[in-house]
Amino acid sequence: MKKLIYIAIALASLTMASCTKNRDEVRVYGESAAEKAIALGAMEGTWKRVSPEGEGTAAGTVTFAACTVDSIIAKAGADNVAMIHAVCAEFSLDNTGVVNVMHAGDDIIFSNNKTVEVEKGGFGAPIYGRIQNAYGASPKIIVDFKIEQRDGRKLKTFEYSFH
């Protein structure tokens, strides 16, 4: 019985000794993630398009803008919502849609997993991406999505990535 008491005391003292105050700092951002993404303006880069016939690359842009869509998403979290505009003339890509925008350390992540047709004001596909080093000197954007587009008379599925 004495040994059990000693073991209990030893375990209790170890438990108390291992507890320390949480010294993690809470990061406070001066602006919302959407405001920061919008402030970065048009980001130029290279679009990569993959199709069953092969792949190609072309120059293009990705731009964030204030949300102008009168939707439930925009009303619920205007500070965390922005419009994304993806353009690549060579691939006939000119899509705009609403994305949720969040902080992730020095990065900003954005996504929208809803598939709303372009004709109805949506992007036309689920879209995911990240602005790396958004608060640094040279931010870099990565965007990925898969979308159906007309290629001549046929409707084909293309995978797009932007770097």
pLDDT tens per residue across span 96-141: 888 888 888 888 898 888 776 666 656 778 889 999 988 888 889 9
Give which of 57, 104, 100, 48 is closest to 76, Cα–Cα.
100
Asked if residue 118 belongs to a domain, the reply is: yes
Residue 102, H or E segment: strand 93-104
Q: For 61-104, what is each residue's pLDDT tens digit?
A: 999 888 776 655 555 556 678 888 999 999 888 888 888 888 88
Domain count, the chain: 1
Asked if residue 6 belongs to a domain, the reply is: no
Asked if residue 22 belongs to a domain, the reply is: no
What is the distance between the terminal CA atoms of the chain, rounded to a whole angstrom? 67
Q: For 12-33, what is each residue's pLDDT tens digit?
A: 666 665 555 655 566 677 777 8
* Structural domain containing residue 106: 32-162
Q: Judge contact between 122 and 99, C-beta under 8 A.
A: no
Asked if residue 10 belongs to a domain, the reply is: no
Phi, psi for residue 13 in degrees, rounded to 5? -70, -35
Q: Judge contact between 42 and 63, C-beta under 8 A.
A: yes
Q: What is the pLDDT of residue 123?
A: 76
Q: For 31-48, what is each residue's pLDDT tens digit?
A: 778 888 888 888 999 999
